[in-house]
Structure 1
């Protein structure tokens, strides 16, 4: 029996407020609340939805929230879940970007970031372990996870190729399943897709009509990014940094890193770093508007063109994906993709761990003399607190941030 719509709203607002730790942590939070605690979705259905969202461009955690809401209450449930997943982080990032644009760096704030990063590392590792426990159920899945880890860590294989290879291997392994039921009407899918396409691009057209400031360029850049970035936020960040810093000159390299640090330690999808970039671009190139208004409008435009495509993919694609839930070959392909993604998550965790532990790098290798003892100690403490003693994420984040702030003043 599905929950009431009001209870669904309260629950997805809670998920949005607790969605720290990047995609892995957010997916783990949704699983804990929707599957373990509320029992609104069972394990196979949750993983089936997750596997589909892993195939899509854009923020997979927000797409999974939208899909879950759609399963519970149709389109209005999907809208509520997708919006509430992003809204708290959007408001927090808007406030932080405003403070960042208007005020110089403060030492204690830098200390907060110093302490938060090791704690976020612990959150990502915990989330990877949780997803791995659910997805790596046999030798085949564990082997795929190991191969994907080695492919991306040792050989630099692009994430989309890893997904494609894993999906193909899983499809071939699952051949011989039952014939799926008839597909939904093509007209319904086309109408849904056209509606969301118009909603997605309408603000970009308005920005072009205005013709001043950075708004039109911002809208087009982040709209294009939303449909070509497979593999989640980390797959997009290097391209965003390169274009925003070197090509458009919206932010400096240091500011891009600061924005990533803010996105890592606030609720909501990690791609809200795009909102930070958009705010600074609109603040600095407001096109005759007040700079603060320019920043808010540019940040809102960035978030709109980044997240609206997720509703298009889910509302147009979910009926077809649900129809194929019992299809053996597709289910095997999607499960293989999830196993491969676990390997990629642990590659990201290792990359993050190295950047927490060391301050300088020679190419891809850390400079051993640049080890950061305080961050290493905080990371170890956060790991023990969360993995051994099962302490909550928010208390661990708070304690680590406080330690970093105090250390910066000593």
Structure 2
């Protein structure tokens, strides 16, 4: 009767089945507290159950974030935190910190991953889908409108100057992002080597982002999980052997036979430790079977139609977008401009700039490309494809958050990928700058925009928009 009565008191009785509520409710019952609308009142992790939102509430909340989420990255993360921690009180600060750490650890945009995980924690996979769809919907619609108007805007006088200013500021934003990430992460020589080699591989040898990310991650696994651990174990063995020899020398002075036997035992133990060390290293790093099958199958499917080609390109992009959308710029340019010839270099640079002045993530540039390739349906396919891999990975990792974050191989892989991200950002800056900066005035605007970003930490939206306006005025008033 008690259980039935307590369920009937809840406005949302099905919430008792939520995994993150079970332990807290059990603790409350054990302490003699009532489980009703004020369940676990004062508990750290939970507020009132009646405050948990419906799917419509989640959708509307993240729709607002998608409408005002200019600047990308940490700027949008701050807005999400204000919503879910301060206003709605769906999460505590500690829970949001866990959500942010998970979002940063996975490919895709950190803000999109955070929205997905928060929706999943609140209402399962339906909540995750509602949060993610609402977050990207405003920017997708705006980008489709801009793609429709782009052809007409390009025919207007002096608009070239406007886009040149936008492109120069985008390069500045990418360079400052690379600086901020590299300043905190490039602390060891091998990390610098990965950064330089990653940039050179993309710019000089036209390597794919997938190849760079996998190579850097495997290097990180070897160095962090095998190289350093092997060195530490070897040092531990040497210290143990030295202590044994010192002890045996003391014993040998008193009793030669006892010392000889003890020395033999010590040497045998040292040999066992060395054999154990070698046995551990024979296992090697784990294979990525599921990812390999996925990536091998996609090029075969891509030949079926233009939409499948589009989906294939952006599915592969979304699966390896570590460090934000800027990282993917060189690879998207390679696929879109050089391989498939869907856009010219100047059109691609303009698309990247438009992706920065719309709210939401930079990856929304995929919507523009999809529209230019196959109209509105192409825009929808490209948008879903570029965000789908990160969405699925966030759901998979979110269901076992602690195990994912504690996995040594996963963390070692990410430590190898982080310096590669810096190199890929440098390659992205080179790619956009090569296509979008043609004059000394554009270079000057780029340098000033980078200085403003580094000194004042201004929202990138205003920096890019201001640079475009300044370049436009220079062209109209001074004829430059």
TM-score when scaled to structure 1? 0.66
Matched, 1:348 2:428: yes
Query: Aligned equivalents of 2:130 and 2:178: distance in 1?
Result: 27
Matched, 1:223 2:317: no
Question: CA contact under 8 A between 2:171 and 2:429: conserved in structure 1?
Answer: yes
Query: Aligned equivalents of 1:131 and 1:76: distance in 2?
Result: 34
Tell me the CA shift for residue 120 of structure 1.
1.8
Query: Aligned equivalents of 1:403 and 1:356: distance in 2?
Result: 16
Name the SS for the 2:139 alignment partner. Answer: helix
**Which blocks of at least 5 consecutive residues in structure 1 are unaligned?**
21-25, 54-58, 177-215, 283-294, 360-371
Which of these residues, 112, 130, 135, is aligned with residue 162 of structure 2?
Answer: 112
For residues 64-143 of structure 1, the aligned pairs below 5 Å read: 64-70=113-119, 72-73=121-122, 74-101=124-151, 105-136=155-186, 141-143=191-193
Tell me the CA shift for residue 401 of structure 1.
1.9
Tell me the CA shift for residue 402 of structure 1.
1.4
Which structure has the larger Rg? 2
Matched, 1:52 2:103: no
Tell me the CA shift for residue 94 of structure 1.
1.4
Matched, 1:18 2:65: no
Name the SS for the 2:198 alignment partner. Answer: helix
The residue aligned with 2:358 is 266
Matched, 1:174 2:225: yes
Name the SS for the 1:391 alignment partner. Answer: coil
Q: Once structures 1 and 2 are overlaid, which stretch shifts more, 40-49 or 228-237?
A: 40-49
RMSD of Structure 2 on Structure 1 (CA): 3.9
For residues 249-288 of structure 1, the aligned pairs below 5 Å read: 255-282=347-374
For residues 350-389 of structure 1, the aligned pairs below 5 Å read: 350-357=430-437, 359=438, 372-389=439-456
**1:46-68: CA deviations, max 9, x gaps?**
34543332xxxxx5457534544
Q: How many residues align?
A: 334
Name the SS for the 2:417 alignment partner. Answer: helix
The residue aligned with 1:236 is 332
> Per the alignment, do residues 251 and 159 of structure 1 end up closer, same or farther by CA in structure 2, a change over 3 Å counting?
closer
Query: Aligned equivalents of 1:90 and 1:396: distance in 2?
Result: 22
Name the SS for the 1:325 alignment partner. Answer: helix
The residue aligned with 2:471 is 404
Tell me the CA shift for residue 222 of structure 1.
1.9
Query: Aligned equivalents of 1:389 and 1:227: distance in 2?
Result: 36
Query: Aligned equivalents of 2:121 and 2:447: distance in 1?
Result: 39
Name the SS for the 1:224 alignment partner. Answer: helix
Q: Which has the higher contact order (CA 8 A, sep 6+)?
A: 1
Query: Aligned equivalents of 1:276 and 1:242: distance in 2?
Result: 17
> Per the alignment, do residues 333 and 122 of structure 1 end up closer, same or farther by CA in structure 2, a change over 3 Å counting?
same
Query: Aligned equivalents of 2:152 and 2:430: distance in 1?
Result: 35
Query: Aligned equivalents of 2:80 and 2:185: distance in 1?
Result: 17
